[in-house]
Amino acid sequence: MSKLGEGRVLESVRVLDLADASGAFCTKLLAAMGADVIAVEPPGGSPLRRCGPFHGDALHPERSLCWFLYGLGKRSITLNIESLEGQRIFRELVKTADVVVETFRPGYLDGFGLGYRALSAIHPPIIMTSITHFGQTGPYRHHEATDMVAQAMGGLMYQCGDEDTPPVQVSLPVAYAQSAAQAAVGSLMAYYYRATTGQGQHVDVSVQECVLWAQKPFDVSWKAEGTIVKRGGDAPIMPGWPKFHVYFRCRDGWIAAMPTYWSHRVHLRQWLKQEGLAEDLYDNEAYDTYFRGEFAASPPVEIEESVRSRFAALASRYDKAYLYKEGQRRGMQVTPVNTAKDVMEDEQLKARDYWIRIHHPELGGELTYPGAPFIMSESPWRLDRRAPLLGEDNDAIYIDELGMTRQELVRLRQIHVI
Amino acid sequence: MQPEVLKGIRVADFTHAGVGPLTMRALADAGAQVIKIETTTRTEVIRRGNPFKKGIMDVEASAQFAAYNCNKLGVTLNLRKPKAVELAKQLIRACDVVGDSFTPGVMERLGLGYEALKEVKPDIIVISMSLMGQTGPGRLYRGHGPVLQAMVGLSELTGWPHLPPMAVSIAYTDYYAPQLWIFAVLSALIYRNRTGKGQFIDGSDFEAGIDIMGTSLLDYTVNGRIATRRGNRSSVAAPHGCYPCAGEDRWCVIAVHTDEKWRSFCEVLGGPAWSREESFATFRGRMENHERLDGFISAWTRERTAEEAMEMLQAAGIPAGVVQNSKDFHEDPQIRHRNHFWELEEDPDRQWFTYESPGYHLPKTPLRLKRPFPHLGEHNYQVFCETLGLGQEEFAQLVADGVIE
């Protein structure tokens, strides 16, 4: 791999990070691009520190894998913004900052005089990115929600599951993955605009709307044809498309494949033939037409079924690693249904040097983390420092930068401001 | 008219299908002039795929194409002809960003690889979005969203413990990766504005998708645990699930995290006798008896609409929501309040398609819909003659020669 440049896109940008799980990935991305991201944590620690899983299952705020993952490359100070002194200190910090990212319910920060209007009055260039489940305003703004509720209200959950099962959540906070990623985009757009005009603004992110944005194929079905797309297990049942069969059981798990994808059918027939599963697939005009693979022709259900069941028989003979390699070698869309273990062992990711190793002195070793989601040749993504301990940078920020004395810091600690 | 974030930025869009066009579209939504380069010799798959306006197949009536490609101009070039490649380079000289989603190697073979484009415009920003990246043993592997989400690990974590893996929508990763690509392009623009340097962005949809997996990978490497799908359960809330409501295929999700919320929840349900059972009094008890609990809760939810159930529970501060479908969204008051669905009044022919806002709103520089998706080659004259300054005769000749299609 050719050597990457050393540029840092967001050098000299400071981010005050008050985000929970719905936004922590946003600030992590900003840190990876070079920003000085300071997690402003309550004295008892960010709620992320209480999220499992935990290192060695130790229920400890310095052992949360959630904090480890999303805190990479960040600094940490403690501050109780619910106290008057804490609010005063926060305002001082804001004057040194470019972006504030927060996920409190609408009105919470305003109540302390720390909302966008108040902060932009003392520091006009400030960009505030607020992530809430439904947005800052509107009839649902005060609705209580979780990632599952957002998956439901955003339309994702309706599509997951099968014809004869209830809708099912994804067993991962995918709504928050979407909202945090979109918040990062919105924040950068605001920063880009500010770079030419000096003006900040209040970026208003709705988790529900982020999830809904990801529903395009279904929304278009409603608008174009008035159909509501139904759950179909392997894939939602799109009107006018044959039912997708994507998951096939194999010897040691599952593979995902689109074996009857129109332009790959010729490869499929060859593979079936070599596996002794292609009797009468060659003598029949209907099959010949099918395997010629013309797009947009909806194949007869009996042919699709017959071909699909032969492929299922093929898949059941082998392991997923073999099917993956062999299928791809034959030019077909075949992938394993990966578990976490499979992903960690994936050859392509290793060849790309995708994983990063981060040193944890407190644990006496290194941990492996996901690496760069994109490779930029001049100004790459880079994280090389473990997530901070609680208040690890109190001295550096409060004493070295803001000029507090040691006694002042001790006093503020004692009264739970810091 | 409010200002636009990316006003003055011009983008050459060689992408197709979902991920690439969605990435390019976001730049257009933010004010960039995005020129989509297509060919009539082989119109892209999405133009030829369902659903269509009124169900009739027509490359100018694909609803997915409309949603992914609004706000763009469209030109048609036959890039197999050397003159078309020259014209593409001329266009790129006037651009800031070039995006493609070809299989690695295709742009190089066309003579439009990053090294070649740097000679045309030294500070050009190029983003190439592919399934597995520009390098590595899997660089030429085939796959679309439906199999990619299995690759990153999403399918394994979707569905019921006793049933096969299931899909997250059609291809959830197809709607996640674009966020990382837009972020990368914006980063490159910020960097270029400061340093004058362009760069190459290698985007692997697979690598981008892994960030969705959150802590599940760490849980394996650190604790040796391999996560799997758990239906609608949670490890931190009980009850936590999806409950049937009155009507056909209508559901409400409910999440109760603490004993205090449990008490409020029981009050909302009218304090029925079963709710006072000892086994439900604690979180642990509720987890252990979850199926029985679900049965009681379903009896309550079945008697009301999903909306009623949600409102009653929200009034008591309990997380609850309707499992909404496409029809619901056009009636959802919060979605309407967010002006999520953009309207296009002036173009009755393309007006009926859906155009949507992203989930981030920038009040000073709002993203918006300015034009519908382009017809094939709709802006050939505007781009090649008006913007690039080709003469009328030259243009006519290039059309006659099939360079401009």
CB A19 within 8 A of CB A131: yes
Cβ A374–B207 below 8 Å, yes or no?
A: yes
Q: B198 and B277: one domain?
A: no
Q: Give the mean model confidence (pLDDT) for residues B85-99.
A: 98
Q: In this structure, what is the dihedral angle of CA atoms A109, A113, A114, A116, given to the nearest 10 degrees?
A: 90
On whether any CB of chain A is under 8 Å from the CB of B320, the answer is yes
Q: What share of chain B is helix, strand, coil (3-state, %, to 5)?
A: 40, 15, 45
Contacts of B231 in chain A (CB under 8 A): 168, 171
From A191, A257, A374, residue closest to B208, measured CB to CB = A374
Closest-CA distance, B151 to chain A, in angstroms, reads: 5
Q: Which of A130-134, A369-373, B210-214 has the weakest average pLDDT?
A: B210-214
Domain topology for A247-347: formyl-coa transferase, domain 3 (3.30.1540)
Q: Which of B96, B100, B174, B205 is catalytic?
A: B174
Question: What confidence tier does A245 reach under pLDDT thresholds 50, 70, 90?
Answer: confident
Give the angle subtended at the CA of A38 by the CAs of A387 and A106, to the nearest 5°.
110
Q: Which of A64-73, B163-172, B393-402 has the weakest average pLDDT?
A: B163-172
Q: B107 pLDDT exceeds 80? A: yes
Inside any domain, residue B230? no
CATH 3.40.50.10540 placement within chain A = 14-214+353-414
Looking at B329, B348, B376, the residue that finishes a domain is B329
pLDDT at B352: 65
pTM of the model: 0.97
Element (H, E) at B327: helix B326-329
Looking at B301, B329, B357, the residue that finishes a domain is B329
CA–CA distance, B334 with B307 (Å, rounded to integer): 13
Q: Give the mean model confidence (pLDDT) for residues A245-269.
A: 91
Inside any domain, residue B4? no
Q: Give the mean model confidence (pLDDT) for residues B256-269.
A: 97
A129, amino acid identity: T
Give the angle subtended at the CA of A64 by the CAs of A63 and A70, to the nearest 5°.
125
Closest-CA distance, B383 to chain A, in angstroms, reads: 26
Question: What confidence tier does B347 reach under pLDDT thresholds 50, 70, 90?
Answer: low
Cβ A69–B148 below 8 Å, yes or no?
A: no
Question: pLDDT exceeding 90 applies to what percent of chain A?
Answer: 81
Domain count, chain B: 2
Q: B14 and B76: one domain?
A: yes
Q: Which of A50-59, A288-297, B364-373 has the weakest average pLDDT?
A: A288-297
Q: Give the mean model confidence (pLDDT) for residues B224-248.
A: 96
CA–CA distance, A200 with A191 (Å, rounded to integer): 7
Per DSSP, the residues of B269-310 read TT--GGGG-GGGSSHHHHHHTHHHHHHHHHHHHTTS-HHHHH
pLDDT at A226: 81
In sign, the C-alpha dihedral spanning B304, B305, B311, B316 is positive
CB B359 within 8 A of CB A205: yes
Q: B346 pLDDT exceeds 70? A: no
Looking at B293, B309, B329, the residue that finishes a domain is B329
Contacts of A182 in chain B (CB under 8 A): 179, 358-360
B120, amino acid identity: V
Q: B26 and B168: one domain?
A: yes
CB B360 within 8 A of CB A182: yes
- Pick from A50, A63, A209, A334 the residue to mutate for testing the B interface (most B CBs within 10 Å): A209
CA–CA distance, A338 with B213 (Å, rounded to integer): 11
**Chain position carrying tokens 């009050």:** B267
**Chain position carrying tokens 């009055």:** A121
From B217, B317, B361, residue closest to A370, measured CB to CB = B217
**Chain position carrying tokens 């959950």:** A157
A45-96 pLDDT, tens per residue? 999 999 999 999 999 999 999 999 999 999 999 999 999 999 999 999 999 9
Inside any domain, residue B36? yes
On whether any CB of chain A is under 8 Å from the CB of B368, the answer is no
- B99 DSSP β-pair partners: B13, B127
Give the angle subtended at the CA of B18 by the CAs of B13 and B24, to the nearest 5°.
30
Cβ B207–A354 below 8 Å, yes or no?
A: yes
CATH 3.30.1540 placement within chain A = 247-347
Q: A272 pLDDT exceeds 60? A: yes
CA–CA distance, B299 with A163 (Å, rounded to integer): 21
CA–CA distance, A392 with A46 (Å, rounded to integer): 13
CB B231 within 8 A of CB A376: no
Q: B245 and B346: one domain?
A: no
Q: Give the mean model confidence (pLDDT) for residues A235-254.
A: 85
B51: its two tokens? 């659903």
Q: B206 and B348: one domain?
A: yes
Q: A279 pLDDT exceeds 60? A: yes
The whole domain housing B311 covers 240-329
CB B175 within 8 A of CB A41: no
Inside any domain, residue B384? yes
A257: its two tokens? 């494949």
On whether any CB of chain A is under 8 Å from the CB of B224, the answer is no
| Predicted-complex ipTM score | 0.97
pLDDT at B268: 97
Q: Give the mean model confidence (pLDDT) for residues B245-253.
A: 97
Q: Give the mean model confidence (pLDDT) for residues A165-179.
A: 95
Q: B369 and B322: one domain?
A: no
A148: its two tokens? 């599952």
Per DSSP, the residues of A26-70 read HHHHHHHTT-EEEEEE-TT--GGGG-S-BGGG---TT-BHHHHHH
CATH number reported for the structural domain that contains residue B389 in this entry: 3.40.50.10540
Q: Is residue B174 among the annotated active site residues?
A: yes
Question: 3-class DSSP state for residue A407?
Answer: helix
Q: B277 and B320: one domain?
A: yes
A328-361 pLDDT, tens per residue? 999 999 999 999 999 999 999 999 999 999 999 9
Long-range contacts: A265-270, Cβ < 8 Å, 24+? A265/A290, A265/A291, A265/A292, A265/A293, A266/A291, A266/A292, A266/A293, A267/A330, A267/A331, A267/A332, A268/A307, A268/A311, A268/A332, A270/A330
CA–CA distance, B251 with B256 (Å, rounded to integer): 17
Q: Give the mean model confidence (pLDDT) for residues B234-259.
A: 97
Q: What share of chain A is helix, strand, coil (3-state, %, to 5)?
A: 40, 15, 45
CATH number reported for the structural domain that contains residue B252 in this entry: 3.30.1540.10
Q: B310 and B355: one domain?
A: no
CA–CA distance, B175 with B156 (Å, rounded to integer): 19
- Using H for helix, E for strand and C for coil, what is the string for A166-232? CCCCECCCHHHHHHHHHHHHHHHHHHHHHHHHCCCCEEEEEHHHHHHHCCHHHHHHHHHHCCCCECC
**Listed residue (B127, B265, B281, B322) closest to B205, CA to CA:** B127
| Domain range A14-214+353-414, CATH class | alpha beta
Closest-CA distance, B239 to chain A, in angstroms, reads: 13
Q: B176 and B274: one domain?
A: no
Q: B48 pLDDT exceeds 90? A: no
Task: Work out the mean pLDDT of chain A and round it to a whole number.
Answer: 94
Give the contacts of A329 (CB within 8 A, at least 6 positions apart).
none
Q: B143 and B281: one domain?
A: no
From A197, A219, A333, residue closest to B147, measured CB to CB = A333
pLDDT at A2: 63
Q: B79 and B174: one domain?
A: yes
Residues in B 375-394 with any Cβ partner in A closer than 8 A: none
The DSSP code for A263 is G
Give the contacts of B346 (CB within 8 A, at least 6 positions apart).
none
Give the contacts of B49 (CB within 8 A, at least 6 positions apart).
A241, A296, B62, B64
- Pick from A66, A141, A185, A191 the residue to mutate for testing the B interface (most B CBs within 10 Å): A185
